[in-house]
Amino acid sequence: MDSLKFLRTMSAAEFKEQHGITKLDIFKSEKTGKHFFAYGNEYGAVYAKYPVAPIKEPMVSEVESSSGEQFFLLHNKGEHAATKMETL
């Protein structure tokens, strides 16, 4: 799994205001099965637990992958796309 560096996080309302849009539409790729969101003519990723864990408190983070790719990630507040692997 690719690790992500969170650069900045904002509420969905702040994100929409900054981008001059009124909604975020979530889609599922028929090719990959992954979910993504559209804002205007741009696209961002949706956290991996969706739709099993619905987005109830939407936040959008600008993230950077270990390969240097930067993109926006839609996720729940306090849910930074991390998966708990073990408790010791």
In order along its 88 residues, the chain shows pLDDT tens digits of 468 888 999 999 999 999 999 999 999 999 999 999 999 899 999 998 898 889 999 999 999 988 999 999 999 988 654 554 555 6
Q: So what's the pLDDT on residue 78?
A: 80
Max CA distance (Å), the chain: 46
User: Per 3-state DSSP, what percentage of the chain is helix, strand, and coil (rounded to 5)?
Assistant: 10, 40, 50
Q: So what's the pLDDT on residue 71?
A: 96
CA distances from 26 to 7, 12, 41 (A): 22, 13, 13
Query: How far is Cα 40 from Cα 50, in angstroms, rounded to an integer?
Result: 21
Query: How far is Cα 85 from Cα 17, in angstroms, rounded to an integer?
Result: 36
Q: So what's the pLDDT on residue 61?
A: 94
Query: How far is Cα 51 from Cα 34, in angstroms, rounded to an integer?
Result: 10
Query: How far is Cα 43 from Cα 45, in angstroms, rounded to an integer?
Result: 7
Q: So what's the pLDDT on residue 86?
A: 57
What pTM, to 2 d.p., does this model score? 0.83
